[in-house]
Chains A and B, each alone.
Chain A
Amino acid sequence: DAKTTQPNSMESNEEEPVHLPCNHSTISGTDYIHWYRQLPSQGPEYVIHGLTSNVNNRMASLAIAEDRKSSTLILHRATLRDAAVYYCILSSTGANNLFFGTGTRLTVIP
């Protein structure tokens, strides 16, 4: 499985945008970039995924570098409920498992 590198932790002020980076220099052409988050005492929650183009949904935006070796999850206005561990995961087309690293623990400061 292609690996991802994320900072261990980040802090953000409430109602400010948050940019969570992820490096994946060994990504292959068929790898999708997935983001999940895990709130305390809950199972992981799907956030967003993309292949080459930037993606937006109601939860977040995903910005993918042109060479696909890095990506950034963007939370447009952080709330206290966004405090969680965020995982950046690569999954190739047709793959049947997700390889979770240790993720980035996001702390939102009121």
Chain B
Amino acid sequence: DAGVTQSPTHLIKTRGQHVTLRCSPISGHKSVSWYQQVLGQGPQFIFQYYEKEERGRGNFPDRFSARQFPNYSSELNVNALLLGDSALYLCASSFFYADTQYFGPGTRLTVL
């Protein structure tokens, strides 16, 4: 079975630009969570979606938004990129919103 997949693998943007990151959950999983991992730190929770509804939001500015589609895939959008947004963005899926989460390989975003 395929695990969580994320695209793209790497991305380079400049300050002020917008970025969209994509995630496909494990087949049958209905919940997707997004995390940001800055170099040298543990992942930080950004959003969780379950059945296309937002279930939780971490302490991130409104420049960060997300949505979940009917096929349970998800997009994370970041507007007006800052240098500090450079990080590994991780997507995790679970069958239920409070279930064990399984992570994808991440998208490495570099903002110049």
Residues of A within 8 A of B (CB): 34, 36, 42-46, 49, 85, 87, 91, 93-103
Contact = CB atoms under 8 A, between A and B. Distances in A.
Contact of A100 (B31, B43, B50, B97): B43
Contacts, number: 55
Given A102-B41, A102-B42, A96 B98 contact: yes
Given A49-B100, A97-B56, A100-B42, A43 B33 contact: no
A45 B103 contact: yes
Contact of A97 (B33, B100, B102): B33
A101 B48 CA distance: 19
Contacts of A44: 43, 90, 92, 103
Contacts of A43: 4, 90, 92, 103-106
Q: How many residues of B sit at the interface, in one of the four size bands? A: 20 to 34
A97 B97 CA distance: 9
Contacts of B104: 43
Interface of B: 4, 31, 33, 35, 41-45, 48, 50, 55-56, 58, 90, 92, 97-98, 100-106
A96 to B, nearest CB: 4
A105 B37 CA distance: 16
30 contacts: A34-B100, A42-B105, A43-B4, A43-B104, A44-B43, A44-B90, A45-B103, A46-B103, A49-B100, A85-B42, A87-B42, A91-B98, A95-B98, A96-B33, A96-B50, A96-B56, A96-B98, A97-B33, A97-B56, A98-B33, A98-B35, A98-B92, A98-B101, A99-B45, A100-B35, A100-B42, A100-B44, A102-B41, A102-B42, A103-B42
